[in-house]
Structure 1
Amino acid sequence: MEQNVVAGYKPLNNINVYYEFYPNPNAERTFVLLHGFLSSTFTYRHLISLLKNEYQVLSIDLPPFGKSAKCSRYIYSYKNLADTVIQLIESLGLKKMTFIGHSMGGQIVLNILHLKQELADKAILLCSSAYLKRAKLPLILTSYLPYFHRFVKYWFARTGVEKNLQEALYNHSIINEEMINGYLQPFLQDEIFVALTRMIRDREGDLPSEILKQIKTPCLLIWGDQDKSVPLKIGEKLNKDLANSELIILKETGHALPEERPMEVFEYIKNYIGKFQTTASS
């Protein structure tokens, strides 16, 4: 592990949360990174290496993913995940933050902005999940069957990490062993599948348009034009619903922006932040 990263666990909100913090005493801004569904801090490794030279960076494994605990007492709703992130940030005493959320992580960011708008001055949403409904009642009821988590595990084994990556990426040539192993690692123990079963029950659906319209935080939306998981039309609708947003579309790019286009994403983020600094100083 690199010298300039503080990696560890914080027990809060009934669960042990894993995080990686890259302190930068000269930085005026802290980026808080939230990954997507079936992912972890690993997804941001390229973007972190670009951000950490100029900014402070906090990357969090959202329960039950990555190295964070998998706990049967924890409520895996988006609201509770947002609360957990807020508690972690406050326990670390961080100020002047910009959130970056990819896919499901983007929906958690929107929940945080809804719950505690003053926490962040800006947000970057990368192919953010939006407008998903709650799981249908038959699936929620089925999830209470004994050993249902084995069906979840079977489904995951059937789809497979490599197939999921092929779905998420437009450019399949970047898929390699390091990437496959990095995404596979958290799914080698059974506990994750028990926790995912809980998540099926607890996830309450994405924020509706009427709540999104109340969020005033400036948001930069970056989308791949070939995103199959959260199609571009979702990004265009989100751009209309958010009061203070702009949308950037990357050509020949899929869903996994931090994997496929880390340098472009980094440049767009820097330019976006810079625009506000120029406005403030003029």
Structure 2
Amino acid sequence: MTSLEWKNKGEFYTINNQQVFVIDEGNADETLVILHGYPTSSFDYYKALPFLSKKYRVIIHDHLGFGFSDKPLNYSYSLIEQADIALLLWKKLGLNEVTILAHDYGTSIATEIIARNNMNLLPFSIKELILCNGSMHIELAKLRTIQKLLKNKITGKWVAKLANQTVFNRNIRKIYADSSKVSQEELNAMWFQLNYNNGRNVIHLLSNYINERYFFWHRWIGGLTQTPIPTKIVWATHDPIAVRAIGEQLHKEIPNNELRWLENTGHFPMLENPEEWSNLVLS
């Protein structure tokens, strides 16, 4: 699927004076809201969407700074604010009960939402939480060199300016278990959406989420250890960043959870093995 085809499937909503791109598909009674990862977009789910929409109405938005959503320069891109945007969008869509699925960057937005839910601050109920390959336990993550450079206030802007599609393609392929499963068309779509609306001007600002995972560790990991919400952990075994040990640690500390492994799969399981991953999410 091309970027243009994906864009034509969605629509834009104005949230806090910013344009947010939203995919809303399926007619089921239950609603699945998805929080996507870094540095990609809702496009990550184009292969899994046909499977997921058999059970759910599926809503995926591009976070601010990502994909087709606005990418303002004068914005903090804090995960706290990304949670605000998600909650305001879901309120605008009139959602009363949701299942939240989060991957990578999106898992920390989810943990902020869970922390608020623990304090009875949400206007809707959460039926289930599904966590997939994200480095919430940042102390266990194996960050790539480019991630470390981008999150640095001094080097981040320059690394973003110097990055090109060849570097991007190489880094994406390295985090697949089987790099042959990512096509050039998919890489082209990811790169196009990353650059859309001058996206490279904000990529170093987005990368501060890694620092926030340390700063808000007690709020976010603490929120998970206190949540009564049934939680499903769907973890790809061969992710070189959000490693197996993170999935195991979450399984130990979240009160009401089940852990499901997806074997021989890397950091983007919904793209690398979409049907098998979707089956684990839905089962």
TM-score (norm 2): 0.82
CA contact (8 A) 1:36 1:105 kept: yes
Amino acid at match of 1:131: H
- Structure 1, unmatched stretches of 5+, are 272-282
Amino acid at match of 1:8: E
Provide the residue aligned with 1:160 in structure 2. Answer: 167
Amino acid at match of 1:216: P
Amino acid at match of 1:19: V
User: Structure 1 residues 119 and 73 mapped into 2: Cα distance closer, same or farther (>3 Å)?
Assistant: farther
Identity of aligned residues (%): 26
Q: Report deviation, 1:201.
A: 4.8
- Structure 2, unmatched stretches of 5+, are 119-123, 140-146
Provide the residue aligned with 1:91 in structure 2. Answer: 92
User: Structure 1 residues 20 and 89 mapped into 2: Cα distance closer, same or farther (>3 Å)?
Assistant: same
CA distance in 2, matches of 1:211, 1:231: 21
CA distance in 2, matches of 1:78, 1:62: 10
Matched, 1:224 2:236: yes
SS at match of 2:233: strand
Amino acid at match of 2:189: G
Select 1:132's aligned residue among 110, 135, 138. Answer: 138
Provide the residue aligned with 2:254 in structure 1. Answer: 242
CA distance in 2, matches of 1:56, 1:157: 36
SS at match of 1:10: strand
Provide the residue aligned with 1:213 in structure 2. Answer: 225
CA contact (8 A) 1:113 1:119 kept: no
Alignment length (residue pairs):
260
Q: Which has the larger radius of gyration?
A: 1
Q: 1:84-110: per-residue Cα shift (whole Å, max 9, x none)?
A: 101000001012211111111122112
CA distance in 2, matches of 1:198, 1:251: 33
Q: Report deviation, 1:189.
A: 4.9
Provide the residue aligned with 1:274 in structure 2. Answer: none
SS at match of 1:116: helix
The more displaced of 199-208 and 124-133 is 199-208
CA contact (8 A) 1:228 1:255 kept: yes
CA distance in 1, matches of 2:15, 2:165: 34
Select 2:159's aligned residue among 146, 151, 164. Answer: 151
Q: Report deviation, 1:158.
A: 7.7
Provide the residue aligned with 1:260 in structure 2. Answer: 272
User: Structure 1 residues 130 and 204 mapped into 2: Cα distance closer, same or farther (>3 Å)?
Assistant: same
SS at match of 2:47: helix
Aligned pairs for 1:1-282 within 5 A = 7-24=10-27, 27-116=28-117, 119-132=125-138, 141-142=153-154, 149-154=157-162, 156-157=163-164, 160-189=167-196, 191-201=198-208, 204-205=212-213, 207-208=217-218, 209-271=221-283
Q: Report deviation, 1:73.
A: 2.9
CA distance in 2, matches of 1:86, 1:6: 22
Q: 1:110-152: per-residue Cα shift (whole Å, max 9, x none)?
A: 221222355311011111221227x99xx65526xxxx63432
